[in-house]
Amino acid sequence: MKTILNVIWLVLSGFWLALGYIAAGIICCILIITIPFGIASFRIAGYALWPFGRTIVDKPGAGAGSVIGNVIWIVFAGLWLAIGHIVSGIALCITIIGIPFGIANFKMVPISLVPLGKDIVRTDDLRRTYQAGPAYPYPPQG
């Protein structure tokens, strides 16, 4: 089922959203100092292409550097990418079939605004981790 949802997602909005993240990543990698933002953008581009079956969790070791980086990210790229998710989500919610994909777009808004200090993991891995004992001290987000 996840594969079918991901293929439909890719056609309806995933491809265009991933292109936005790739563009932001390329712009961020032009300057040496913003390379961590570019890497985060490329990581999220993969998530935007194939989101079903994966979720976002907080990184346990993220600290003040992530907070400062997220503030800079919001100003230069996060706001525009979040607007892209909101517009795409509204457009998808116009039809009944598109409502689950619109909701998925809305769930991606937080990571587009503050990507540093977050990790994208497969839901299968997360379930096995919580069954064996929590490796992450935080519950899954999303």
pLDDT score, position 139: 55
50 Cβ contact list (under 8 Å, min separation 6): 6, 9, 10, 14
Residue 72 lies in a domain: yes
Q: 88 falls in which pLDDT band (50, 70, 90)? A: confident
Q: Which two tokens stand for residue 28?
A: 């961020």
For tokens 């909701």, the residue is 103
pLDDT tens digits along 96-129? 988 888 988 898 888 889 888 888 888 776 665 5
pTM of the model: 0.74
What is the span of the domain harbouring residue 37? 2-120
What is the domain count for the chain? 1
